[in-house]
Structure 1
């Protein structure tokens, strides 16, 4: 499994637009072979940080999903929410592999 962690800097004044953007991507990831673990938004106080986590079974599955960017009308529309509202100031994507309690490699 490969997990994508996206660290967002957002415009706190545009949180509604960011939530709409996030809802669309949760649905798209889940419909195209991934498992979305959710977006984590500011919960208390002023903050411009948000996170998203989603997983794919392997890198090849993720790459098939990524091929839809700029091609699939729903992907384009989801990105348009972000672009038109400027709710995302910047983001950084990192790929990680989870170490889960039931992972057989825990016994190393």
Structure 2
């Protein structure tokens, strides 16, 4: 298993707007194509302009196949265009993580 750890930095004071748009239009599509969401988090302490979400995949090939299917969906492309027009996102970063042999999440 691998985990795609994503961190999005949103324009200050606009996190709620970004989350609302994602919840309505982005998340249903990602849930359909990407499969196993391990968590979706907003800050309580620390930086208040970032959100984090984690997605589990069998391996890198599984991740690539699922993300390719997502990007091929016209509704995903429309969502990305809407997000761009809303101009809420400043940066996005992701890391691919592998669990240790003693990790409680298989």
TM-score range, shorter chain: 0.7 to 0.9
**Shift in Å at residue 28 of structure 1?**
2.4
Aligned length: 103
Q: What pairs with 1:75-94 in structure 2 (closer than 5 Å)?
A: 75-94=76-95
Alpha-carbon separation, structure 1, partners of 2:2 and 2:60: 6
Unaligned runs of 5+ residues in structure 2 are none
Alpha-carbon separation, structure 1, partners of 2:68 and 2:30: 13
Q: What pairs with 1:1-108 in structure 2 (closer than 5 Å)?
A: 1-23=1-23, 24-43=25-44, 47-68=48-69, 70-99=71-100, 100-101=103-104
**Shift in Å at residue 21 of structure 1?**
4.0
Report if aligned partners of 2:33, 2:69 keep a CA contact under 8 Å in 1: no
Alpha-carbon separation, structure 2, partners of 1:38 and 1:22: 14
Unaligned runs of 5+ residues in structure 1 are 104-108
After TM superposition, where is structure 1 displaced by more than 6 Å over at least 4 residues in a row?
none
Alpha-carbon separation, structure 1, partners of 2:13 and 2:63: 32
**Shift in Å at residue 101 of structure 1?**
2.5
Per the normalisation by structure 1, the TM-score is 0.75
Alpha-carbon separation, structure 1, partners of 2:61 and 2:47: 38
Summarize the Cα distance change of 1:93–1:45 in structure 2 as closer, same or farther, 3 Å threshold: closer
Larger radius of gyration: 1
Per the normalisation by structure 2, the TM-score is 0.76
Q: Please state whether the residue corresponding to 1:68 is helix, strand or coil.
A: helix
